[in-house]
Structure 1
Amino acid sequence: MRYLKSAVIALLISPLMAVAGEVKVSWAEFDDFIDVRPASETKSAFYKRVKTSLEKSFIELGEKLPDGTVFELRVSDLDLAGDIRYGGTREYRLVERLYYPKMKFDYQLVNAEGKILKEGSESIKDMGFLDRLRRPSQYRNEGFFYEKLMFENWFEENIEAQFK
């Protein structure tokens, strides 16, 4: 009887569980990237923050993929929005139109049966990044907003659109 109750509960809960694809992210050496330079923290701490923040965003996008789908991403270059400037004794990141975000990466999209649906190398940039309206709750109080939104737009147009 106890097993029957457990089975019924599992069946009732299973539709509520998220069904999503998987995202696997790898990175080239951060020191070789065009511009992933910290302004007021150590390199290692800044690199970790960039990696953690962007990977979290990539994984959230993977939740939009069908169950069993795997999206593999290898980031080979990154140029963050803005540029490092020196002001007195401090460094800071100045964000202006001239310093737009860019990213280069290789990717592969594989379905649940192991068939490659799409693959390639991309070089994306968002020269109009300052003209975009932020969605109210999107990336609120998070860093690297422009890079996340740039990649999200590419993902929706090139990957997510495959399943609509």
Structure 2
Amino acid sequence: MIAKATVFNKKSFIFYNISRLRELIRYLPPKKFELFNTIPFLLHINSPKFTGYMENHGNAYGIYGFNDSGFWRLTLKRFNLSEAEMMPYISRLYCIKGLYLMGSSGTIAQTNYSDFDYWVLVDDKTVTKEQISILNKKLDVVKKWSEANYSQSVNFFIMGINQLKEN
């Protein structure tokens, strides 16, 4: 009985998220859609060619599972990059375990002025204070770049997996 309920809840959760994503994409102006696709890419890589590069990175970048996503392929295509070309700039440790867009985006409350509010999920049992500090710097650079180049307010909230489970 519990297994069936868990499967049902998982399917409902996935459907809800796909629906919100579809609505977000439908109503975002082209420039903001470009930014929406670019932000995860910038958090996934650490290349001197792109915003968010950290010289002393401490492996404080990389999104688990991102290489398998459509966002990854779309951004590579947009920047005319090959996956092989980007491999040296990808961490195999994936500091970021999940990136979640929160708030009004993809809902009836979404407007042209809606912020992009992200939960940046990390494993609070393995991530170091140094990595959190470096990740915060990277997020701040991406936030300022988004506001300067896209007039888009972006906020990042780093959360530990255990912290999320408790909420």
Per the normalisation by structure 2, the TM-score is 0.32
Q: Which protein has the bigger strand share?
A: 1
Higher helix share: 2
TM-score by length of 1: 0.32
Higher relative contact order (CA 8 A, sep 6+): 2
